[in-house]
Amino acid sequence: MAEALKSVPGRPGVAKPSPILVVEGVRRAFGGLVAVDVEHLEIQRSSVTALIGPNGSGKTTLFNLLCGFDSVDEGEWRIFPGSRGGGVQPGPEAEESKLGEVRLTGRQSYEIARLGMVRTFQLTKSLSLLSVLDNVLLAAKDQVGERLSRSLGRRWREIDERNRSAAMEILERFGLAHMSDEYAGALSGGQRKLLELARAVMARPSLLLLDEPLAGVNPALVESILEHLLKFPAEGMTVLFVEHSMDMVMSISDWVVCLEEGSVIAEGPPEVVASDPLVVDAYLGREE
C-alpha cells in the first residue's frame, strides 16, 4: 500500500488514503516545557514511516503518550487495526476493533498493546532473569496458560510448543538463536536491542513503534535487519520508527515525519523531507 503514498502531498498533518493511526491535537507539557504538541498526524497502513527530529524534539515522549505510558494534557488518537494483525491477545477490546476504529485516548498501556500497537524502548528493557527464548515467548499471543485459571491445565503446553518454534524462527532471523538458553541479562547492549525487536515482532502487532531500534547494533547486522523491517508491511505490520541516521531513513522508509520542539514541521517522502529547508535547518543543521 506504500504506493498509495505517492499521490499524497508532503505537508504537515496531511491526510492519508488508508491511515492505521490518527493523532489529533495531542499535547504534553512538563512544567513550562511543551514536549509534544502534534496538531494532526496520520500514519499510512502497511508503510514504513520514519519519525525524525533533533534530540529532545519529543519523539520518545510522543511514543510514550501514544502507548499509554504517559498521559496527555489534551488530545486524542485512534487506531484502525483493520482485518490483518488484529490484537496481541484477543480480549473484549478486539471485539470493538472489528468495527474498524478504536479510540485509544485514556486507555491503559497494556490494553493499547493488546489492540495491536506495540512499542520498543529507547533505553532497552530486557527481562534479565528470563532466558532469551522466554523473553520472546512472553510476547506470544493467545497463550491460554497465561491465565491463572488455566495455568495448571495441559492445554497450554500444545500452544506453547507451537509458540516455541515460532519464537525460535524469529530468534533465527535476528541472529540470536544460538543464545536462546542464555539469560537475557547476559546479552550485550546491541543484542538486547535485537531481542527487544524480536519480542515486539513475536507479538504480531498491526502497528509497531520502534524507538531507535538499531542504535548500537553492528553494521553488518543492520543490513539484514533492515531487510526484515522492509518485509514487515507485507506481513501485516505497519512500522513507525525513530532513527537518527539519515542514510538509514532514506534507504528504507516510505514516508518521513519530522518533529521539532514537539510539533510536526514537515512530512513527506524521504527525498523531499531531507531537502526541506525547515528540516535541514532544524535537524541536520543543528546536528552537525
Partner 1 sequence: MDWLEITVDSLRGSVSLVAAAYALSSIGLNLQFGSAGLLNFGHVASMLVGAYGMAIVVDLGGPLLLGVLVGVAAAALLGWLWGITTLRLRADYLTVVTLSFGEILRFLIRSNWANPFTKSVYGIQRFADEFYDWNPIPDGDYGFEIASNPIRFSERQLWVMSVCWGLAILATLLFRSLMRSPWGRTVKAVREDEDAARSLGKNVYLYKQQALIIGSVIGALGGILLGIETQNVYPDFYIPLVTINAFAIVILGGAGSVWGPMAASIIYWFLFEWLDGVINSAMTEGYFGLLFEPADSGRIRTVLLGIGLVCLMVFRPQGLFGRRREVILGGT
Ligand X SMILES: Nc1ncnc2c1ncn2[C@@H]1O[C@H](COP(=O)(O)OP(=O)(O)OP(=O)(O)O)[C@@H](O)[C@H]1O
Q: Which residues bind Mg ion (CB under 5 A)?
A: 59-60, 122
| CB 43, min distance to Mg ion, A | 18
| Residue nearer to partner 1 on the CB measure, 142 or 169 | 142
Residue from 19, 53, 81, 85 binding ligand X (CB under 6 A): 53
Residue 61 within binding range of ligand X, rule CB under 6 A: yes
Examine residue 236 and tell whether it contacts partner 1 (CB under 8 A): no
* 35 contacts ligand X (rule: CB under 6 A): yes
Q: Which does 166 bind (CB under 5 to 8 A by kind): partner 1, ligand X, Mg ion, none?
A: none
- 193 sits near partner 1 (criterion: CB under 8 A): no
Enumerate residues 6+ apart whose C-beta is below 8 A from 192.
124, 126, 184
* The one among 46, 47, 49, 57 contacting ligand X by CB under 6 A: 57
Tell me whether strands 255-260 and 48-52 are parallel, antiparallel or unpaired: parallel
Cell of 15: 491526510
Phi and psi torsions of 285, nearest 5°: -55, -45
Q: What is the DSSP letter of 85?
A: S
Output 78 or 244, the one with its CB closest to ligand X. 244
Minimum CB distance to partner 1 smaller for 24 or for 134: 134
**108 near partner 1 (CB under 8 A):** yes
Whether the Cβ atoms of residue 232 and residue 85 lie closer than 8 Å to each other? no
- Distance of alpha carbon 213 from alpha carbon 146, whole angstroms: 28
Nearest CB to ligand X, comparing residues 56 and 90:
56
Quote the least distance from Cβ 132 to Mg ion, whole Å: 25
Extract the C-alpha cell encoding 255.
Answer: 514516508
55 binds, options Mg ion, ligand X, partner 1, none, Cβ within 5 to 8 A by partner type:
ligand X
61 binds, among ligand X, Mg ion, partner 1, none (CB under 5 to 8 A by kind): ligand X
- Residue 125 near which of ligand X, Mg ion, partner 1, none (CB within 5-8 Å, type-dependent): partner 1
**How far from 130 is each of 58, 133, 137, 146, 168, CA to CA, in Å?**
32, 8, 10, 16, 15
Q: What would the x/- binding string for partner 1 be over residues 25 to 64, using CB under 8 A?
A: ----------------------------------------
Closest CA to 238 of 13, 64, 22, 35: 22
Neighbouring C-beta atoms of residue 219, cutoff 10 Å: 7
Name the region of 53 (left: φ>0; alpha: ψ -120 to 50; beta: rest).
left
Grid coordinates given for 111: 490494553
- With cell 528470563, the residue in question is 130
Asked if 155 contacts 144 with a C-beta cutoff of 8 angstroms, the reply is yes
Cα 172 from Cα 52, distance rounded (Å): 29
Which residues bind to ligand X, rule: CB under 6 A?
A: 30, 33, 35, 53, 55-61, 122
Which residues bind to partner 1, rule: CB under 8 A?
A: 67-69, 87-89, 108-111, 113-114, 118-121, 125-130, 134, 137-139, 141, 143-148, 151-152, 156, 160, 183, 185-186, 196, 199-200, 203
